[in-house]
Amino acid sequence: MATLTVPTTVPSVSEDCEQLRKAFSGWGTNEGLIIDILGHRNAEQRNLIRKTYAETYGEDLLKALDKELSNDFERLVLLWALDPAERDALLANEATKRWTSRNQVLMEIACTRSANQLLHARQAYHARYKKSLEEDVAHHTTGDFRKLLLPLVSSYRYEGEEVNMTLAKTEAKLLHEKISNKAYSDDDVIRVLATRSKAQINATLNHYKNEYGNDINKDLKADPKDEFLALLRSTVKCLVYPEKYFEKVLRLAINRRGTDEGALTRVVCTRAEVDLKIIADEYQRRNSVPLTRAIVKDTHGDYEKLLLVLAGHVEN
């Protein structure tokens, strides 16, 4: 469930553009007006605002926002204003450029988007960077990480609910054999995780647990310091329980000494129109604190205000 709230009656797109133009005019910027408009418009409406703003004023709205805003608030507004596919392309490009074995953003995008959303992100990558996401992932990653990430970002999974139980049983046995032999980067392990539908993977992992007594992620914790195993565990979580993966990202972003604004911004931005309500419920269940209260405690100013709006917080 999404947390984004859009008014029942939305002003015309030309009126929204006019108000945004006013927010940039005169002394200082009216950040509240920017939040009120962009924070309550869905992706289609935001795209139309960008298009109309450019046609009306001869300036890209993103460039106008970039000139007027700063710091974490600027990053949040600019990411939010992007079309979801463009946003994923930008996040993926940043992840390839700054890639380390701890960076899980490429896997996150590949495994939590639908087949079409991932395809559109790859197309947006072509348009924006004049090269493919696959070639950048191949260039910037190495070893087992490349072996897993390249097929993940290239995937176009079947999205139906049909499940082959015979196959689930066979592949559960296969995964158990490979993991028992510590062949974590075996071609078959990667093939199953990178190509099977999410419904099929779910059936396979259920059979794995029923047959062998452990959740697969427990068996993938043989070496807690192994970062490839950490990536494999996160891959499984994103494919089967994305809300648990995102809850952990938020918990680590908010609860550590000093907030990881990059992770907090990314999760709120990319999930507000998808399933942030489910993630927030999981966060409260796991931490006994509402996500919005945790955001208030750890952030401030206009950055905090927009985060709360996107997280569906309603002022009393």
Distance CA 311, CA 36 (A): 14
Q: What percent of the chain is predicted at pLDDT more than 90? A: 93
pLDDT in tens, 170-209: 999 999 999 999 999 999 999 999 999 999 999 999 999 9
Cα(301)–Cα(306) distance, integer angstroms? 9
Tell me what the mean pLDDT of segment 236-244 comes to: 97
Is residue 22 helix, strand or coil? helix
pLDDT in tens, 20-33: 999 988 778 999 99
The DSSP string of 128-181 is HHSS-HHHHHHHH--HHHHHHHHHHHH----------HHHHHHHHHHHHHHHHT
**pLDDT of 302 above 60:** yes
Structure confidence by residue, pLDDT tens digits, 56-68: 999 999 999 999 9
User: Would you list which residues are annotated within the binding site for Ca(2+)?
Assistant: 24, 26, 28, 68, 254, 256, 258, 296, 298-299, 304
- 3-state secondary structure (DSSP) of residue 196: coil
Q: What is the pLDDT of residue 84?
A: 98
Check pLDDT > 70 for residue 303.
yes
- Which CATH code for domain 11-82? 1.10.220.10
Q: What integer best gives the mean pLDDT of the chain?
A: 96
pLDDT reading at 256 higher than 70? no
Q: What is the DSSP letter of 314?
A: -
Q: Do domains 161-218 and 238-309 have the same CATH topology?
A: yes
Residue located via tokens 């648990």: 244
- Residues above pLDDT 70, as percent of the chain: 99
Q: Quote the tokens at residue 185.
A: 């980067």
**273 pLDDT higher than 70:** yes
Could you read off the pLDDT of 63-107 as tens digits, one per residue?
Answer: 999 999 989 999 999 999 999 999 999 999 999 999 999 899 999
Identify the architecture of domain 238-309 in CATH.
Orthogonal Bundle (1.10)
- CATH homologous superfamily of 161-218 equals Annexin (1.10.220.10)
Domain boundaries, the chain: 11-82, 161-218, 238-309
Distance separating alpha carbons of residues 118 and 111, to the nearest angstrom: 9
pLDDT tier at 316 (50, 70, 90 boundaries)? low
Q: What is the mean pLDDT of residues 136-147?
A: 97
What pLDDT is stored for residue 202 in this prediction?
98
The mean per-residue pLDDT over the stretch 299-313 comes to 96
Question: How buried is 272 (Cβ within 10 angstroms: 0-12 exposed, 13-18 middle, 19+ buried)?
Answer: buried
Binding site: what residues are annotated?
24, 26, 28, 68, 254, 256, 258, 296, 298-299, 304
